[in-house]
Structure formats: structure tokens, C-alpha cells
Structure 1
């Protein structure tokens, strides 16, 4: 397995549950941070992971989401922490952090991944869960390896209630549009998962198609390919000032208050949005899941659900599969997931083209 983000961890747990011994190679460290939030339906996790692994994952999630069948926002970081803990506890999974993969390959009998230290890991199949800039995708689809820049950036932040003063607390997801900008705001519980008044949080995601020049100047986008996201230190001071002014102009309280609080703390990240419409998910013993397989705009609201469906389908297709039967099982996975993945990406492309003015 290449990649230990959400899709990689879910797929690792699904494969281990199906009886596979799984080695996970992740370029980053064990501690990951993100200001993103996503809708999680706990029964889906239970169905994918089983009761034992779910019992480890769910306590990491927000109290509201863990107790309700509907998908409520939880932080990416909380979900990743829970999935990582479950993978670390599983005897069939070996996690290797700080292990960037630099080359992958295969022959008729096996697949392999080589890391930057020269270590080579060999297996019956190799799963690419290495995100929108996937190295494994380049081996699966060498004719079209890159996701394409969609023409806009997503600013993200989370503000603590105690830093916002007296504001009217929202009860659910709020979607706002203003002058070519779009905002998604969502309430989150306290870091301990409880909805304690005074300790809650507000998450926000600001879609902005007016900063493409900035993205290209700092190298976040080159040509039609996104090279990297922007962390707090990548964002110029003048851009912070412009964002604060734009928040006052475009958004009402409590969202303007939350955005300005995040800006003042320099707790803002930015993700140039990519899209990838797949023609294939499999090549021999190589297979793609998550953003390596398909990259929809976050506006679909279904990226996480699609990654979960990938993990579930791959576990199902490869259960009780002999090593020599792996390529056939992977084609069954592709038959199951390719058209839903294409439909998901296409559903967001009309929004992207309209929003980015292309």
C-alpha cells in the first residue's frame, strides 16, 4: 500500500479484514494535520471495518457524529487519528512512516515498491492510495497520469468558540455565495468530541477563483498541474490582509468572525483544487483507490464516501483470492468502481467550469 491518508488506511483495514497481510508505506510522519472537515456516516465505517476496528475509530470522532446515523461533520484530523490507531493495532498491518516511494513496478507474479532508502517491498498486489499526485497512477495510466487544476483554490480554517466572542451559533451546514465566491461553514464540537458551550469550533471552507495568479507565482500550480497545497507560512502577508478584507465584505457573522480569527492566528491553509476523470483503475497487479483513482471537486461532498466505497469494493473483490488470481480480482474491482467514480467526477466538473469561469 502506497499512502496512509484516509483512503489508504481504510483500504488497509479492509484488506486486512479480508485476510491479507498489508504493508503501508507513507512519506509523511504519523502526526498529520488538516483544517478540513467531512461528513461521516458511522454505520458505513462499521460495515467496512467491522466491530473491533470501529470500536477504535469511532471514539476519535465527534460525539454528535458517533451517536447519529446521519453524516455529520468531523475533522479530517480526528478521523485520520482514529483510522491510524486501528491500523496500528491490527496484527495484519505494518505501518512505515517517513518512507517515500520513488518507484513501483510489477511482473506476472508480483508487484513492488521501492523507497528513497533503497528498500524494496514486494507483494501480490500494490495499492496506490497516494493522493491526487499519485506515483502509482503514473504506472497504471501512463498516458494520462496527472490530475488537472480546476481553476480555483479552497481556503480552510477552524476557529475556537472562545476566540469568537458573542456570536450566534449555527445549527448545521451553512452555504453562502457572494460575488463569485462560495463559502461552506459548519459547526464542530470541542476537541474532546463533546458539544460543550464555550469550547466548540467553527470550520469554514472558502472557494475562491480570484487567486490563480498567486498560486502560479509561488509554484503551487504549474501549467495545468497542482504541485502542492499552501501552509500558513506559504501565504504572503498581503494575501492575509486581502482575505480579512474579503471576509468582511462577503460573509456575515459568525463566518466573517471565524475567518478573521483564523487569519489573525495564521491558522489558514489553502488547497488548489484538482480534478481527475479516470479511464482505468487497474493495470495488472497495480490498483488505485481514493484520490489516486479519482479526484472530484470537494463541492460534490462525496469524495470520502467514494474512497470508502473503493476500500469496501477492493476488500470484497480480493477476499479469498489466490496470488495468481489477483489480476482477475482487480478487474472485478474496476468493473465495480470505475463508472461510479467517473460519474462522481463528472458531477462536479460543471460546477468547476462555471465557478472558475472557464
Structure 2
């Protein structure tokens, strides 16, 4: 095809970035197939997320989800001191949601017959005006455009950009999600309408309410999400990321898979936090850990193949924009694809490279400030 009136698009990766991209392109009139390596429903990628306006606007504009039905909100930001008192507090309106709540809405909006499970991409090639994805079952998909939305562990990015690797920041995020009903009432009240923090000498912990596993946002239906950024440079990072089965994880150990000695150390260390957060960690059944990385790429477009989301840039979670960045990449790609495809991809790449670099730099600045 010489123009972008209607493209056949193959998306490698069926998580947030892939679904936002697939839906944005479908709404712009393109034919999209999404190929996901998992064979069953995707597990939660980390619980709570900040619901950025661009993402919510997209969901609302296309009738995918009404923002009020999948978000919780706070009107104040509060910092606790070491003794669990209020160090400072100010007005600051924020919206939060959960990974599973958003994923469920996106997945329901995307046609089942165009979402292919059990398709792990092992190669990608572009020749002329055609891109081809090859899968581990021996099958292939040919399209006018291939979008790589495989996340931070993208094997396709590794082949397209050998030598481009995530850079470990030297600290981790311990994380957890627990039903508000499992938390003492006095603790739960500390998070009602409040985005709550504790800033230590070399760590930062925060918490907020998110929708429940079924999307419920009413009191009693929600969950508490907490994140503890912890400097672990005096510990063996490889050990922290080795799960209970002895499997070495690259980026995170999921809920229920922490080694018993690692979890015991976490719970013991958490007793030194302000009582609000100490009680919250104690009430969490399956905490997990995520190593903090930075990733930047020099290119996002390779003829008729493009990278987006965490396959291109990974910014530290302090920016509260990881999911929003993936969504924006896909939405902007849909907006850009008008007229000549190569010219459209060139414009999109220049704009998204700038946005990605800016976000990663901001994440580094914030992380250095918090951890030092």
C-alpha cells in the first residue's frame, strides 16, 4: 500500500500497549490482529496505576469505560513522619485505577477473533512495504505494518537493537495489594481521599486505594496498593530476583513467588516504617518485588516495523506514566498514520523519541532525589 487509508497491522504483544494500539488503529479504520505469547488470561502486572487524563479520555471517548467506574480519586497528598504523624499535607487531586481493571475493559473491547493467544514472536522482518512476524509454532503473519508492544523484556527489540539493554538503577520497588477489608480500620482511614507517603533517608513508600478485583470502587470493595522504593545496593540483587522455584527473574518476582527468606527480610524491615505502612505491609499476603530500570532506544522505526511502550522506553515508576506512555504511543500512532506511511512513521518516531527521552530523564531525576 502506498498510503495509510487502510493498513493491515500485526501487533506483537497483547498487554496494555498492544491493546491500546490495536484499538486506536481499529478506530482509525485499519485492520488489526494482536498476537499474544500467553496461552491464558494475562496476570496482573503490578496492581495500582495512576490514571493519566489522556488514557482516561481515550477510554471514555470510545465508549470502552467510563472513568468514574474504574477509578478512585484523592484530593490531598500527605507525608507522614517516622512516628506516623503528619509531616506535611496539601491539596492535590489524583486519579488511580488498577492494571486488571483497565486490561479487562480493553480486552473486552477488542474482537476475540483478532486476538491470537499462544503466539510468541521469534523474528520480525521488513522488506519493501511488507512486515512479517514469525512465531515459535512455525506460522507467520504478513502485514503492511508490524507493531512491537512486547514490554520491557522484548526479544524483538533485542534482535533489532543488539546491545541496547535496560540499565539497573540500584534499587527495587517492593509492592503489594490487599483488600481494604483486610486492613485495620484505623489504617484504612489514613488512605481515604489521601495519597499517602513516607520519605526516609534512602527510601520512599507510598499508598493509595484502587478498584477491587472486580472493578468495584465503593467503600469495602476496593484494595490498598502500596509501593516501597528501597535501596538494596548492600544486598545481592540476583538473590532478590530469584523466585522460590530457583528461577532467576530479570525484572520482577510476581506475587506468591518471593523466596521465604526474602519475604521474611522484607517483613522485618517493614516494621521500621511508620505504623500506617508497617501495618499495611503486614496485612499483605503476597508482596512482590520489581527491580527499577531505565531503558532508552535510539530508534523506534525499522522500515515497516515499529517499537512502542516499554519495548522502546522504560521510565522509572516515579513518573506515574508507564501505562500512559504506552497508551500515548499507540494513540499517537493511529493519529499519525495519514497519507504516505513512511513519512507518517518518521513524524511519529521523532515525536515519540523526544517524549520517551524526556520521560526517562525525569524518572532518573526523581529517583536520584528520592533515594539520595
Shared fold (TM-score greater than 0.5)? yes
Give the CA RMSD over aligned residues: 2.7
Q: Deviations over 1:134-179 (max 9, x none)?
A: 223234433x432222211111111112212332411221121124
Partner of 1:346: 361
Note the C-alpha offset of 1:189: 4.1
Residue 143 (structure 2) aligned to one of 123, 146, 149: 123
Q: Tell me, yes or no, if the aligned pair for 1:112 and 1:126 is still in contact at 8 Å.
A: yes
Are residue 12 (structure 1) and residue 32 (structure 2) matched? no
Contact 1:226 1:272 in 2 (8 A): no
Instruction: Pick from 202, 205, 208 the counterpart of residue 186 of structure 1.
Output: 208
Q: Is it true that 1:273 corresponds to 2:288 in the alignment?
A: no
Q: Post-superposition shift, 1:40?
A: 1.5
Question: Is residue 2:132 matched to residue 1:112?
Answer: yes
Distance (whole Å) between structure 2 residues aligned to residue 220 and residue 237 of structure 1: 11
Cα 1:341–1:252 shift into 2, 3 Å: same
Aligned ranges for residues 147-186 of structure 1 at < 5 Å? 147-168=166-187, 169=189, 170=191, 171-186=193-208
Report 1:248-327 matches (<5 A): 248-253=271-276, 255-262=277-284, 265=285, 267-319=286-338, 321=339, 325-327=340-342
Inter-partner Cα distance in structure 2 for 1:59 and 1:30: 25
Q: Which moved more, 1:234-243 or 1:151-160?
A: 234-243
State how far apart, in whole Å, the 1-side matches of 2:147 and 2:280 are. Answer: 39
Asked whether the 8 Å contact 2:72–2:97 carries over to 1, the reply is: no
Query: How far apart are the structure 2 equivalents of 1:37 and 1:308?
Result: 16
Distance 2:323 2:255 in 1: 25
Q: Normalising by structure 2, report the TM-score.
A: 0.81
Give 3-state SS (helix, strand or coil) of 1:173's partner: strand
CA separation of 1:210/1:32 partners in 2, compared to 1, >3 Å: closer, same or farther? same
Assess if the C-alpha contact under 8 Å between 1:220 and 1:228 holds in 2: no
Secondary structure, counterpart of 2:151 in structure 1: coil
Deviates more, 1:1-10 or 1:176-185: 176-185
Contact 2:267–2:281 (8 Å) recurs in 1? yes
**Cα offset, 1:228, TM superposition:** 3.7
Of 226-235 and 19-28, the range deviating more from structure 2: 226-235
1:329 aligns with 2:339: no
* Correspondence 1:19-38 to 2 at 5 A: 19-28=29-38, 29-38=40-49
Distance 1:111 1:232, change over 3 A: same
C-alpha distance in structure 2 between counterparts of 1:235 and 1:219, whole Å: 8
- Structure with bigger helix share is 1
Task: Report the alpha carbon displacement of residue 2 of structure 1 after superposing the two structures with TM.
Answer: 0.9
Q: Would you say 1:79 and 2:102 are equivalent positions?
A: yes
Matching residue within 42, 50, 62 for 2:71: 62
- Taking a change above 3 Å as real, the CA distance of residues 226 and 159 of structure 1, as seen in their structure-2 partners, is closer
Instruction: Report the counterpart of residue 39 of structure 1 in structure 2.
Output: 50
How many aligned positions are there?
Answer: 336
Aligned match for 1:94, one of 114, 134, 137: 114
Contact 2:122–2:136 (CA<8 Å) still a contact in 1? yes
Q: Match of 1:77, SS?
A: helix
Q: For 2:249 and 2:234, how far apart are their aligned partners in 1?
A: 11
Of 259, 264, 270, the residue aligned with 1:247 is 270
Secondary structure of residue in 2 paired with 1:279: coil
